[in-house]
A and B are shown apart, each in its own frame.
Chain A
Amino acid sequence: MKKLVILGAGCGGTMMANKMRRHLDRDEWNITIIDKDNIHDYQPGYLFVPFGINTEKEIRKTKREFIKPGIDFVISELVNVDWDRQEIATASRGKFSYDILIMSTGCDVRPEEVEGLAETWGKNVFGYYRFDDCKALKKALAQFNGGKLVVNIAEMPIKCPVAPLEFAFLADWHFHERGIRDKVEIEFVTPLTGAFTKPVATQVLTEACKQKNITITPNFALGSVDGERKVIQSYDGTEVNYDMLVSIPPNFGSQVMIDSGIADPMGYIPVDKYTLQPKDRDNVWVLGDGTNVPTSKAGAVAHFQADILEENIMAFINGEAQHARSDGHAL
Chain B
Amino acid sequence: MGLLQDTEINHLSKLIFKWAYYNLLLAGTWLGPPALQLAGKRMDMIKKK
Q: Is A11 an interface residue (CB 8 A)?
A: yes
Bound together, the chains give a CA A249 to CA B14 distance in angstroms of: 26
Bound together, the chains give a CA A15 to CA B47 distance in angstroms of: 25
- Cross-chain contact of A327 among B6, B17, B35, B41 (Cβ < 8 A): B41
Can you report 18 A-B residue pairs in the complex whose CB atoms are below 8 A from each other?
Answer: A11-B21, A11-B26, A14-B28, A15-B28, A18-B26, A44-B21, A58-B18, A204-B1, A205-B4, A207-B1, A274-B46, A299-B21, A303-B25, A306-B28, A327-B46, A329-B36, A329-B37, A331-B35
Bound together, the chains give a CA A39 to CA B5 distance in angstroms of: 33
Q: How large is the interface on A (under 10, 10 to 19, 20 to 34, 35 or more residues)?
A: 35 or more
Residue of B nearest to A9 (CB): B26
Bound together, the chains give a CA A274 to CA B21 distance in angstroms of: 25
**Are the CB atoms of B17 and A324 closer together than 8 Å?**
no
- Chain B residues packing against A (C-beta within 8 Å): 1, 4, 6, 17-18, 21-22, 25-28, 30-31, 34-37, 41, 46-49
Which of chain A's residues have a CB closer than 8 A to the CB of B18? 42, 44-45, 58
Shortest beta-carbon distance, B29 to chain A, in Å? 9
Q: Is A323 an interface residue (CB 8 A)?
A: yes
Known pairs A208-B1, A208-B4; A14 contacts B21 (CB<8 A): no
- Cross-chain contact of B37 among A19, A169, A327 (Cβ < 8 A): A327
Q: Which of B27, B34, B47 has the most CB of A within 10 A?
A: B34
Bound together, the chains give a CA A330 to CA B36 distance in angstroms of: 9
Which of chain A's residues have a CB closer than 8 A to the CB of B36? 329, 331
Q: Contact string, A1-29, partner B, CB cutoff 8 A, digits 1/0?
A: 00000000001001111110010000000
- Chain A residues packing against B (C-beta within 8 Å): 11, 14-19, 22, 42, 44-45, 58, 61, 66, 68, 169, 173, 204-205, 207-208, 274, 299, 303-304, 306-307, 310, 323-325, 327, 329-331
Which of chain B's residues have a CB closer than 8 A to the CB of A327? 34, 37, 41, 46
Known pairs A45-B18, A208-B4; A324 contacts B26 (CB<8 A): no
Which of chain A's residues have a CB closer than 8 A to the CB of B35? 331
Beyond A44-B18, A45-B18, A329-B37, 20 extra complex contacts between A and B, CB < 8 Å: A11-B21, A11-B25, A11-B26, A15-B28, A19-B28, A66-B26, A68-B27, A208-B1, A208-B4, A274-B47, A299-B21, A303-B31, A310-B28, A323-B49, A324-B49, A325-B48, A327-B34, A327-B46, A329-B34, A330-B34
Residue of B nearest to A61 (CB): B22
**Are the CB atoms of B34 and A22 closer together than 8 Å?**
no
Which of chain A's residues have a CB closer than 8 A to the CB of B27? 15, 18, 66, 68
Known pairs A304-B34, A329-B36; A173 contacts B28 (CB<8 A): no
Which of chain B's residues have a CB closer than 8 A to the CB of A323? 49
Which of chain A's residues have a CB closer than 8 A to the CB of B21? 11, 42, 44, 299
Bound together, the chains give a CA A45 to CA B14 distance in angstroms of: 10
